[in-house]
Amino acid sequence: MSEQDTRTTKVLFREWRAGDSQAGQIMAQRFADWYYAIATSRLGEAAGAGPCETACTKFGEGVVEITESRNLVPWAHDIIAKLLADSGARTMDGDEPNAYTGNQSPKTLLVRARGALADEVALLEAAYATDGDPAKVEALAGPLGGNPLGILKARYRVKQWLRDEQNVPFEVAPDNPVLDRAPLPLYESGKMANAQEEVNFEHWMISDIDLCRDIAEFAHFSIALRGGLPSGEAAAASSGPTAQQELVDSAQLEENPGCMGKIMAMFGGG
């Protein structure tokens, strides 16, 4: 994903409209990263690739028709929202290995984390599970600061453990979580209060590319948690020594040539 630029998306848009092609390329990459985070979190990498690429194409083709900066994000979000709706409901279970997991099962990695962080993983299991018990979530979150902050803390502790002990190359795993991100687990688990709250959260995401990176790199694990984890014995029986456990070059992970190629071509990049 792109490096952060201090300019807001609205400022980049205005500068691009005024003839600054570099601002246009930065803006285009920001929207591509945003689309990738939303599509991957909702559907997973494989199922989300098509909607992401199509959204990038439609953005590049249609953005020239947008004249008011305040209309940019709502218009751009409508593109991905319609494509995702056409693709079906949010994926509520999966165990898709990818480069971030070293081609290992996300559920197997989370079961390993459970052995070291039993309380944190138990809280994530309860919070993300489709049929999770709210009372259980409240009880488990209490020692970590309550709900929703305790869930966010547990999420980052698990990310840190996976990064440090399993070589999962997470970039966003702070010791002190940003309090504004407390709704993040609700978004990833598909448990926000209503559809408009989810839309508002996704609109906010583009103002913070670090948040988009956080969501995208944890997407395979959040999908695995939504469907529930196997017991330790079941995970051990189903996972053999076939997975690569090497540290993956993060630059390789950030490549999204389909979506990025389509959108950057519209702005003279790549």
CA neighbor of 38 nearest in space, from 215, 264, 232, 245: 215
Name the pTM for this structure.
Answer: 0.87
What is the pLDDT tens value at each position of the chain, 270 positions in all?
A: 555 678 999 999 999 999 999 999 999 999 999 999 999 999 999 999 999 999 999 999 999 999 999 999 999 999 999 999 999 889 999 999 988 788 899 999 999 999 999 999 999 999 999 888 899 999 999 999 898 899 999 999 999 999 999 999 999 999 988 888 999 999 999 999 999 999 999 999 999 999 999 999 999 999 999 999 998 654 444 444 333 333 344 444 444 545 555 555 555 554
Question: Distances from the Cα of 202 to the Cαs of 53, 65, 150, 197, 263, in angstroms?
Answer: 18, 22, 22, 9, 19
> What ranges make up the beta strands (E) of the chain?
none
Cα 223 from Cα 65, distance rounded (Å)? 36
Question: Distances from the Cα of 90 to the Cαs of 179, 189, 199, in angstroms?
Answer: 26, 10, 14
Q: How many residues appear in the chain?
A: 270
